[in-house]
Amino acid sequence: MTKRRRILLLTLWVSLLLIPYHQLFAIESEDDVYAFDDFPLEDLLQYPDWFKKSFLDLPADLEEAVEDDKKGIVLYFGQKRCAYCKMLLEVNFGLSDITTYTRRHFDIIPIDIWSSEELTTLSGETLTQRDFALREKTNFTPSLIFFNQQGDEVLRLRGYYPPYQFRAALEYVADRHYRNESFPDYLARGEASTAFEAGDLNEEKFFIPPPHNLDRSRFPGQRPLVVFFEQGNCHACDVLHGQPLRDPAINKLVRSFDNVQLDIRSETPIITPDGEKTNASQWAKQLGLFYTPSLLFFDEQGNEIIRVDSVVRFYRLRNVISYITSRGYINQPDYQLWRVGSGL
């Protein structure tokens, strides 16, 4: 797709979400959103001063938010040296439109996934922040969990997403679209109004060609499986293939898997790892996917091990792949604990 058509698509999508175009394009026109250095930060991150100064009593925090006519609270699970967290705090919240909208509708409560400080959950339990993060499976930071005024979880974001998708998530919850449709369906409606002829997917020699019978429920596979959900005209997909997957170490590790590429919007027939007959778009919908590229990792028996369904760069991708190839998931089902135990 030409640069002009990319700019046109972005302009239409931004208009749909009511974001000031001049403000967002200054960031989205550069590679910073998808091509940043994701190694651990040298300097510790600081929360924005408008984040909630919480005593970590979540029922009280929710009550205060409702009294202030907020639409709910957002739990922000982060790490002080997380490059993806820095992108959220400095890039997304660096946009005054996003910050103003967030502050108007939500209170954001920071959770340090390694802290031993205790909190009270919305159900009244007392846990350390670390144990709470483990229970909530916040494998990738930043992770955000949105709760409405009744204390119901209505949306969860795992990892870093570009400003336009993050703004859509805020509107999805603030306008209570969750009562009528899923977040993937909400995004799909927006994309439908900007649709044009789809481009070709990125090709790789290690992708297994169709037909795709991924059934491992009766006969185990010889190797772990990775399913790449992508689409044409996807800048993030282009970056994945043009940068991380070109890294010699990552490329070598990827070739130790069975690799399958699916167009997230196509009706390509497929038999899933658990033996279900469906097509690519229906399977993606069942999986709750909305971001491309999304990488789903399965073991030889067809069990999903982990997924990467947000922006991913060299450091995180290499570590996730090593987690699978080393079979670290067998003894340590939590990726973050495995990573720390491995010194990564």
Mean pLDDT, range 244-258, rounded to an integer: 97
- Side chain identity, residue 157: L
Angle at 198 between CA 197 and CA 201, to 5 degrees: 155
Give 333's DSSP letter.
-
Which whole number is the average pLDDT over 279-290?
Answer: 97
Triad 262, 88, 80: Cα angle to 5°: 115
- Does pLDDT of 10 surpass 60? no
Adjacency order of strands within the sheet including 143-148 = 106-112, 72-78, 143-148, 153-158
3-state secondary structure of 215: coil
Kindly indicate the confidence band of residue 213, based on its pLDDT and cuts at 50, 70 and 90: very high
Q: Does pLDDT of 34 surpass 80?
A: yes
Tokens of 67: 């009294």
What pLDDT score does 189 carry?
Answer: 87
Residue 30, pLDDT score? 45
Average the pLDDT over 205-220 and give the result. 96
Q: pTM for this one?
A: 0.89
| pLDDT at residue 70, as a whole number | 98
What does the domain layout of the chain look like in residue ranges?
3-192, 212-341
pLDDT exceeds 50 at position 123: yes
* Per-residue model confidence as pLDDT tens digits over 150-203: 999 999 999 999 999 999 999 999 999 999 999 999 998 877 665 556 679 999
pLDDT score recorded for residue 196: 52
**pLDDT given at position 192:** 66
pLDDT of residue 143: 98
In the prediction, which pLDDT does 197 show?
61
For residue 26, pLDDT over 50 is answered with no
Predicted pLDDT at 109: 98
Check residues 155 and 11 and name the one with the higher pLDDT. 155
pLDDT tens readout for residues 37-85: 999 999 999 999 999 999 999 999 999 999 999 999 999 999 999 999 9
Distance CA 120, CA 66 (A): 18
Q: What is the mean pLDDT of the chain?
A: 90
Q: Using an 8 Å Cβ cutoff, are 172 and 183 in contact?
A: yes
**Strands of 294-298's sheet, edge to edge?**
258-263, 225-230, 294-298, 304-308
Q: What percentage of the chain has pLDDT greater than the value 70?
A: 89
What fold characterizes domain 3-192?
Glutaredoxin (3.40.30)
pLDDT of residue 193: 60
pLDDT at 3: 39
pLDDT, tens digit (0-9, with 9 covering 90-100), for 217-249: 999 999 999 999 999 989 999 999 999 999 999
More confident residue, 26 or 159: 159
Angstrom distance (rounded) from CA 329 to CA 333: 5
Structure tokens, 144: 């955000």
Structure tokens at 199: 């481009």
Q: With 80 as the cut, is the pLDDT of residue 332 above it? A: yes
pLDDT at 154: 98
Q: Please state, for a pLDDT cut of 90, what percent of the chain lies above it.
A: 84
Using the 8-state DSSP alphabet, how is residue 247 labeled?
S
Q: What angle do CA 294, 106, 190 make, to 5 degrees?
A: 45
- CATH top-level class for 212-341? alpha beta
Model confidence at 113, in pLDDT bands (50, 70, 90)?
A: very high
